[in-house]
Structure 1
Amino acid sequence: MFENINNKQIFKYGKDAYKKAILQAVDCKSFILDKDEDELITSIDQNSCYNCLYRRWTQESFMCMALNK
């Protein structure tokens, strides 16, 4: 669900693919919930890449810092 762009792992479905972001987070061993509730996009009890501490927003989507290690 990610594509490599300039050596960065970018979520290829953008900022509004809630179901895909949830599915991706279910299998992710690096997922950590962002503790800043103002930064959460989906419900607090739901793992989603959109709620992950390791996501960094871009203009169109986000990059996964855990995959960029």
Structure 2
Amino acid sequence: MYAIRPREHASLIANLPTLEERQAALELVPDEYVSMVKTHLRLIFMLRRAARLKEQSNRSRKAWGK
């Protein structure tokens, strides 16, 4: 059993600043966890994108006075 769970791997990887660093970190994940970590990463980045789009939408509404 490993000390770090797939969700924790994904969280650590998602917080790395560059794509190259994230790719290198993903190579260090145990083979049994790779697919789960990739799924968690997709969800993390989908949620970040949704939050960013919502924030942009809110800013544009404020700019138009709505």
Name the TM-score, length of structure 2 as normaliser. 0.35
Identify, as 1 or 2, the structure richer in helix: 2
Larger Rg: 2
Q: TM-score of the superposition, structure 1-length normalised? A: 0.34
Q: Which has the higher strand share?
A: 1
